[in-house]
A and B are shown apart, each in its own frame.
Chain A
Amino acid sequence: MGRRRVSNNGILQGSFFMDGDTACAEGAICAGCRFFGGYPITPATEIAERMARRLPQVGGTYIQMEDEIASISAVLGASWAGTRAMTATSGPGFSLMMENLGLGIITETPCVLVNVQRGGPSTGMPTLVGQGDMMQARWGSHGPYETIALSPGSPQELFDLTIRAFNLAEKYRTPVLVMTDEAVGHMTERVVIPPLEEIEYYARRKPQVPPNGYLPYRPDPDGVPPMACAGEGYRIHVTGLTHNEKGYPDTVSVETQQKLVERLIRKIRANQDDIIELREDQVEEADVVVVAYGISARTAARPVRMAREMGLKVGLLKLVTVWPFAEERIRELAPKVEGFVVPEINMGQIAQEVERCAGGQAQTILVPHAGGGLHHPNDVLEAIKRVTSPQSTSAETSP
């Protein structure tokens, strides 16, 4: 349309009318992703399709693996070979990836995992929207850990947050989850791709010491160890077992375990001001704050507007970063508001976090949706009215 051009290096720039999945793939390419190990699954297939076509054009590699377990394994390996790598899946594939997501976390392997959520449990509703994997994103792999998960509400945000996911993954040496959904992945909308030089690029932190002085898991002061990759002349050791700073397994030392696990958690929690991104609309003066994420934050804008037209003081707090959770902000707001309303396309997951952080100082009302569709604006509006009406009862999050 005269607004689009493909630059010589194969990176797109300009305005496009594209669906969310395609925008995700293009965001990854702009972020420097050059490896995709995947297994197609509705509604994430378009990401794999786009990457299969596009990666060879920019000197990257696409491999279709035999399943999702192999997909994430290949992604971890590619990252250790020095490449920015990703995979994309949906519910059933996300479940299969859980074990090696944990391997990525304990080996501190930067990579991006996109979950285009659909209705569940199990194979559920392949072609329809869900947000039921939010707690799985937090706790799906075994053992104690922290994780980073982002939640976009439009194709443009999916583009932007895929780039951010790659940068956070490199900065904190950890897998980052992009928890999008079918509604966003399959929605076509305008996506503006800025010039490459305007796109943030966080380069992988490399060792500043000679090979004989390098310990692959000795952290910098922020808790993140510089990462030497295979073939760069440094000794590295990569294991899912509890390991010391050298990378050697030390599976019977409580002290080594404690040191490692605490650091894996601390490097995320201590940097949460950098990681947590929120978007607030009239939250400061609000009596009721709607807390939402992804497509549900987008659709909540309408009932929020309807409530304001009725004279109610309602704010909208959008969790762009869902994990780590915005605990401090909810704790801060709880004594100032009458209640929180949490619409989500599941039967109550993030609402439980809100209720926990509200600590009984404000009520939390869940607006559940079993999946397959979006919240009707009136359902959220009714919940807002319940908070402000005198008959409203105390905290409840059960559907």
Chain B
Amino acid sequence: MSRHEIRFSGFGGQGIITAGYILGKAASLFDQRHVTLIKSYGPESRGGASSAQVIISDEEIDYPRLTQPKLLVAMSQEAYAKYIGELASGGLLLIDEDLVEPCHPRDDIQVRAVPATRIAESELGRKIVANIVMLGFVAANADVASVEGIREAALSSIPKGTEELNSQALAKGYEYGNQLQSTMHKV
């Protein structure tokens, strides 16, 4: 059974839930797979820890909660500390390297890092698209949704007038991920 469980996490305001939504939308509407998205809610979505649970499956999803996430995206130290324990053995951890210091080393997972916020701020001039840079990085590192699907889903989910900025952000993250891939072994 192919069932991918993914958690996006960070703090409120980083666009964590938007990132989860875009990935889910890409897999659901573009790739035509079964997808559920659960967003963290309430006080959490306004500062503090924020997270989105995405399940992508080829079969109907009976249990719409994470059971064994194989992919954890962490964009804050707090989120990393909160969720690193649930990442399944053999899983992949993707972090914003300027925001997360992996202080709970595990030898049964892989870790890849991208300066998503720095790229957004210094190369694109808008810190706010760090989540989209991270999505590009996700697309390059994990086979959960097609990059074209993610691009289409992103462009149909963001405010009008920001298409170019978001396109570039996605491309930057994807390129960074691919370059990193070429310098190390594939998962």
Complex: A186 Cα to B65 Cα, angstroms: 12
Given A17-B24, A17-B25, A17-B28, the answer on whether A188 and B37 have CB atoms closer than 8 Å is yes
- Measured between C-beta atoms, what is the minimum distance from A40 to chain B in Å? 14
Given A1-B30, A17-B24, the answer on whether A186 and B38 have CB atoms closer than 8 Å is yes
- Measured between C-beta atoms, what is the minimum distance from A3 to chain B in Å? 6
Q: Which of A83-91, A97-105, A295-303 makes up part of the contact surface?
A: A295-303
A116-150 contact mask (Cβ, 8 Å, vs B): 1 or 0:
00000000001100000000000000000000000
Residues of B close to A3: CB separation below 8 A: 29
Q: Does B152 contact A (CB under 8 A)?
A: yes
Given A183-B64, A374-B65, the answer on whether A189 and B41 have CB atoms closer than 8 Å is no
Find out whether the CB atom of B25 lies under 8 angstroms from the CB atom of A187: no
Q: Does B156 contact A (CB under 8 A)?
A: yes
Q: Does A15 contact B (CB under 8 A)?
A: yes
Q: Does B153 contact A (CB under 8 A)?
A: yes
A12-43 contact mask (Cβ, 8 Å, vs B): 1 or 0:
00011100000000000000000000000011
- Measured between C-beta atoms, what is the minimum distance from B167 to chain A in Å? 15
Residues of A close to B60: CB separation below 8 A: 301
Find out whether the CB atom of B156 lies under 8 angstroms from the CB atom of A187: no
Q: Does A377 contact B (CB under 8 A)?
A: yes
On chain A, the number of residues with a Cβ less than 8 Å from chain B's Cβ atoms is 24
Residues of B close to A301: CB separation below 8 A: 60, 62
- Measured between C-beta atoms, what is the minimum distance from B41 to chain A in Å? 5
Complex: A175 Cα to B124 Cα, angstroms: 55
Task: Among A4, A16, A127, A190, point to the contact of B41 (Cβ < 8 A).
Answer: A127
B interface majority secondary structure = mixed
Q: Does B39 contact A (CB under 8 A)?
A: yes
Complex: A39 Cα to B29 Cα, angstroms: 33
Task: Among B24, B65, B156, point to the contact of A188 (Cβ < 8 A).
Answer: B24
Residues of B close to A302: CB separation below 8 A: 62-63
Q: Does B138 contact A (CB under 8 A)?
A: no
On chain B, the number of residues with a Cβ less than 8 Å from chain A's Cβ atoms is 22
Q: Does B85 contact A (CB under 8 A)?
A: no
Residues of B close to A298: CB separation below 8 A: 62, 64
Residues of A close to B21: CB separation below 8 A: 17, 188
Complex: A188 Cα to B56 Cα, angstroms: 12
> A183's closest neighbor in chain B, by CB?
B64
Task: Among B35, B39, B62, point to the contact of A17 (Cβ < 8 A).
Answer: B35
A284-306 contact mask (Cβ, 8 Å, vs B): 1 or 0:
00000000000000110110010
Find out whether the CB atom of A42 lies under 8 angstroms from the CB atom of B35: no
> A300's closest neighbor in chain B, by CB?
B62
Given A1-B25, A1-B29, A17-B28, the answer on whether A188 and B36 have CB atoms closer than 8 Å is yes
Given A1-B152, A17-B21, A42-B42, the answer on whether A190 and B28 have CB atoms closer than 8 Å is yes
Complex: A2 Cα to B148 Cα, angstroms: 13
- Measured between C-beta atoms, what is the minimum distance from B24 to chain A in Å? 6
Complex: A211 Cα to B41 Cα, angstroms: 54
> A298's closest neighbor in chain B, by CB?
B62
Given A1-B156, A127-B42, A186-B39, the answer on whether A17 and B29 have CB atoms closer than 8 Å is yes
B23-51 contact mask (Cβ, 8 Å, vs A): 1 or 0:
01100111000111111011000000000
Find out whether the CB atom of B39 lies under 8 angstroms from the CB atom of A188: yes
Complex: A187 Cα to B35 Cα, angstroms: 10
> B17's closest neighbor in chain A, by CB?
A188
Within 8 A of B (CB), among A294-348: 298-299, 301-302, 305
Find out whether the CB atom of A126 lies under 8 angstroms from the CB atom of B42: yes
- Measured between C-beta atoms, what is the minimum distance from A398 to chain B in Å? 27
Within 8 A of B (CB), among A222-280: none
Find out whether the CB atom of A187 lies under 8 angstroms from the CB atom of B36: yes
Find out whether the CB atom of B153 lies under 8 angstroms from the CB atom of A1: yes
Complex: A43 Cα to B25 Cα, angstroms: 22
Find out whether the CB atom of B37 lies under 8 angstroms from the CB atom of A189: yes
Of A2, A43, A190, A298, chain B has the most CB atoms within 10 Å of the CB of: A190
Find out whether the CB atom of A189 lies under 8 angstroms from the CB atom of B39: no
Binding site for A on B (CB under 8 A): 21, 24-25, 28-30, 34-39, 41-42, 60, 62-65, 152-153, 156
Binding site for B on A (CB under 8 A): 1-4, 15-17, 42-43, 126-127, 183, 186-190, 298-299, 301-302, 305, 374, 377
